[in-house]
Amino acid sequence: MSEVKEEMPTINRRHSGTVHSLKISIKRRRTGEFIARNSMLTDLFQVSHIKCVRNAFAAGFIIMILRHMVNDFLHYGRLNWTFELLSLTVGKLHIVVLVWTLMTLSASFGVYYGSYMWTHHRRSDGINSRNVVIGSYDMIWLTIYICYLAGLMVIPCWQIIYHQLPLVSSAIIIAEQLRLLMKVHSFVRENVRKMSKQTISASDQQLSHLHQYLYFLFVPTLIYRDTYPRTSTIEWNVAWKMFGQFLLLLILVYQLIAYYWMPVFAQCFAVNEITLEFVITAIFDLMLPGTLIIILTFYGFFHCWMNGFAELLQFADRMFYEDWWNFTSAATFWRSWNVIVHDWLYVYVYKDLTTIFSGSRNLSTACVVILSAIFHEYFMIVSLGFLSPILIAWFGLFGMAFRFAFPQTKGSQWNILLLTFIPICAGIIPFLYALEVSARSSPSERESFSKMTSTSSKQSKSDL
């Protein structure tokens, strides 16, 4: 331990503020607080003992890729990588770009200039003469705002259904839709709060500037502020490194899904009767690759993707996650896994519900958990094209049960227990969705699915 402590680095960045040590970076932050700090793994990887763990993962994946290459050359005399899964799930990207562009433009200029019109006319002498008139005027703009949010929810979904977009293309649109919804709501709420504290004769300049809002739309945070801590320069080597790692991780995730998950999914389409033995075997076969997919997705998105964009935009607060791997309670995990969304839910949902429910924290927490489960299920419904409330049941019911059953537990035994549920979730959830897809598929779709997975199944068997 003494050797590890000696290697604990300081954050050597070009921040305008004070340099923070690793100990400050690890301690619990205040929600909505923005200070210059690195991501936790950025600092931990400067410790040789921790960096060795990442290198071990990299070595393991290199061996996995070499294994596939060697087997291909031994059995086929060439590389025999299949891309049927990629062609099936990704397509019509011109529609994706068009829908994303229209959503972004409406969220950028439509929302800002709508807010400007509300602010400007609200301060005119005619509007401000009586509070009753102000209330009616605000209700009109509130109705317009709600209609805009409804349009932002409905129109992209309609385009997905109309153009029959594949899985990944649909998921990209829905992910961006939810991101813009939360961004827009944060901007409107913060400016409404700011305007409500000002006098009637205040200057129009008190509304946030357009360049501040446009910057907020692309920085990796969902809490709006007029200013954020910034770095003085862009380290292009860091940005290229982050995006390069993200691309490599995408390839690894694809390999895991195509060669380890798809053969198991193919069995769901092939069997005539679902037996208990088949269910247990399939779930355990999905657990290990599912856990690796979760780890790679976390590292690729929350560390590489977020840090890459933060570097390009000189965004200095890199606290996108905390040490969720040390969690001993479900509440700690949800706070630490995705800090960005957690902060938004806490500021704009939990605190409002606590006020509405007269300070009832448990009821507010339950509503936040259910709302989060609903939006996760909404993401899956639109992406997959059918309703199967698996995530609502799993995260809404089981997640809530764990949240209240283990509120403030401590000790390594609880960390082991809760870490065990990660591979269990990684096995059960995809298996249930595979069963649902199999049950809903027509015979022709079953043949198409079996054809797509046949190459993966043969490859997996040859490896064994």
Contact of 102 with 177, CB cutoff 8 Å = no
Contact of 100 with 192, CB cutoff 8 Å = no
- Angle at CA of residue 238, ends 233 and 241, nearest 5°: 155
Residue 358, sorted as left (phi over 0), alpha (psi -120 to 50) or beta, turns out to be: left
Contact of 95 with 168, CB cutoff 8 Å = no
376 catalytic per annotation: yes
Candidates 230, 197, 224, 229; CA nearest to 344 is 224
Candidates 28, 52, 24, 54; CA nearest to 321 is 28
Q: Is 307 exposed, middle or buried (0-12, 13-18, 19+ CB in 10 A)?
A: buried
Find the catalytic residue in 15, 185, 342, 376.
376
Say which residue the tokens 């054809």 belong to. Answer: 451
| Torsion angles phi and psi, residue 10, rounded to 5 | -95, 160
**What pairs with residue 37 in β-bridges?**
317
| Torsion angles phi and psi, residue 231, rounded to 5 | -90, 155
Burial readout 193-204 (b: 16 or more C-beta within 10 A, e: otherwise): eebeeeeeeeee
| Nearby residues of 139 by Cβ (< 8 Å), 6 or more positions away | none
Burial readout 419-436 (b: 16 or more C-beta within 10 A, e: otherwise): eeebbebbbbbbbbbbbb
Say which residue the tokens 């779709």 belong to. Answer: 445
**CA–CA distance, 312 with 237 (Å, rounded to integer):** 11
**What pairs with residue 15 in β-bridges?**
231
CB atoms within 10 A of CB 29: 17
Alpha carbon of residue 27 to chain centroid: 23
Q: Which residues are catalytic?
A: 376
